[in-house]
Structure 1
């Protein structure tokens, strides 16, 4: 199986893939779709709908060199004409693999997705650093218990504990 189809299957297992026209439309409306993939033998109407959804949500879309049956087998179905990847890193990797095979056709999309993936990674790093700072601010530094060495004497009102040696 092709590396591109492996990435499609991996994104399905990770839960980062919308399969079919209705889920792809939902992903585009909620702006979670990062890349729409259309099968090579998909109907013209399906490709037009995918282009329309991509235009509405500022999502990139590609016609991939795989049939509906090949895409369907990668996602565990009989056939699949439209997919939407919802993870920008996986979408970037997939577009990069396609660009290796046909740089003229898929190269610009791969570059755009690579830039988006880098921006998303930077945002994630900044968010993690902020969360670390927040947690560090919540932690209080260690301090010895109040009262110091004389804390035990104060509890007994200044009296020493009687020795048990002489008790019999």
Structure 2
């Protein structure tokens, strides 16, 4: 699981993530999000809305981790949603998520 957070931190430092609801929604609507990570402890309403938006704009959404750990990986406060805007980093993160079985 640590590799997922390391890759997420790398993506953030490379400027390849949108974090927080507003930034992610904007990036989704511009079709710039290749992978959406939603914290498992985010609200069901938020998850439903964002996953529906992912389907609408052709992005993949995955429920993974928790708000505190995702925020820490970015060096930010607790964060429920992160959009990865780089195709290669999204692929690597998706692969690591599959390996940990989430």
TM-score normalised over the length of structure 1: 0.59
Q: CA deviation at 1:13?
A: 0.4
Aligned equivalent of 2:78: 79
Verify: 1:45 aligned to 2:67, yes or no.
no
**Structure 2 unaligned spans of 5+:** none
Question: How far apart, in 2, do the equivalents of 1:37 and 1:49 lie?
Answer: 13
Aligned equivalent of 2:35: 35
**Structure 1 unaligned spans of 5+:** 106-168
Secondary structure of the equivalent of 2:69?
helix
Any residues of structure 2 matched to 1:1-168 within 5 Å, and which? 2-64=2-64, 66-102=65-101
Quick check: which one's strand share is greater? 2
Aligned equivalent of 1:123: none
Aligned residues: 102
Question: How far apart, in 2, do the equivalents of 1:97 and 1:55 lie?
Answer: 22
Q: CA deviation at 1:52?
A: 1.7
TM-score normalised over the length of structure 2: 0.95
Q: Which has more radius of gyration?
A: 1
Question: How far apart, in 2, do the equivalents of 1:97 and 1:35 lie?
Answer: 13
What CA RMSD, in Å, does the superposition of the two structures yield over aligned residues? 1.2
Question: How far apart, in 2, do the equivalents of 1:22 and 1:32 lie?
Answer: 14
Runs of at least 4 residues off by over 3 Å = none
Q: CA deviation at 1:99?
A: 1.2
